[in-house]
Amino acid sequence: TLTACLFDLDGVLVDTAKYHYIAWKRLAGELGFEFTEQDNERLKGVSRMASLDILLEVGGVSLDEDAKLALAEKKNAWYVEYISNMDESEILPGALEFIQALKERGIKVALGSASKNAMLILNNTGLTPYFDAIIDGTKTSQAKPDPEVFMLGARELGARPDDCVVFEDAEAGIEAAIRAGMRSVGIGSPETLGRANLVLPSLEELTVDRLLEL
Ligand code: B16
Ligand code: MG
């Protein structure tokens, strides 16, 4: 059976990767190196500090922990400024309609995101009221591919892992779902998300009936 759906945020419900990118690129610029869109692909679904480590590796820069914390804070301040202007027009195609259809069928909905800024994004896009549980980077101690974020979501919804489906755009997120004992739908390309039970370009292509067949 299917009683609960757990959604990743960036890349599934909204495209905040573009704002992360301009903030990281700005930081790289200050540090004196280029950071390309292709480099940015490696940051998707990855925590803030792990993202910074990848960025510094790209630039060939090594710093102590205090300097890294200061840079992460600087990047985040820019990022928060960028996402402060988001509104409901930035919800990805089909996402809101799909969540509404789930709720009409009595299926519970949770967020499972690595972001510590998830509440700001959900509030600005008007998505907050649709969630029965919200698990974000402020509530977890282990990053995906650790299953913690999805296990916490299922627990808060009172759902068994095998009654849950996870929606993810990152390979580490699909891995987390598998480790949690949940089914998953990959949003993106089958090349990277091949381990998901189903891979689609966006939520626009999905109906609740098709999901129930998984
Ligand atoms: P923050 P998700 C992730 O969101 C992003 O994909 C990733 O690029 C970002 O570094 C991470 O959140 C942490 O975000 O700096 O706002 O805490 O895909 O897990 O919804
Ligand atoms: Mg994501």
Active site residues: 8, 10
Q: Which atom of ligand 1 is nearest to the CA of 17?
A: 8
Q: Which residues line ligand 1 (CB under 6 A)?
A: 8-11, 20, 43-48, 51, 76, 113-117, 137
Measured from the alpha carbon of residue 20, the closest ligand is 1
Report residues of the chain scoring pLDDT below 50: none
Output the pLDDT for position 50.
94
Output the pLDDT for position 37.
94
Measured from the alpha carbon of residue 11, the closest ligand is 2
Output the pLDDT for position 115.
96
Output the pLDDT for position 45.
86
- Numbered residues of the known binding site for Mg(2+): 8, 10, 168-169
For ligand 1, atom 7, which residue shows the shortest CA distance?
45
Q: Separation of 99 CA from ligand 1 center, angstroms? A: 21
Output the pLDDT for position 87.
98
For ligand 1, atom 6, which residue shows the shortest CA distance?
45
Output the pLDDT for position 63.
97
Output the pLDDT for position 75.
98
Output the pLDDT for position 173.
96
| pTM of the entire predicted model | 0.95
| HEC secondary structure over the chain | CCCEEEECCECCCECCHHHHHHHHHHHHHHHCCCCCHHHHHCCCCCCHHHHHHHHHHHHCCCCCHHHHHHHHHHHHHHHHHHHCCCCHHHECCCHHHHHHHHHHCCCEEEEECCCCCHHHHHHHHCCHHHCCEEECCCCCCCCCCCCHHHHHHHHHHCCCHHHEEEEECCHHHHHHHHHHCCEEEEECCHHHHCCCCEEECCHHHCCHHHHHCC
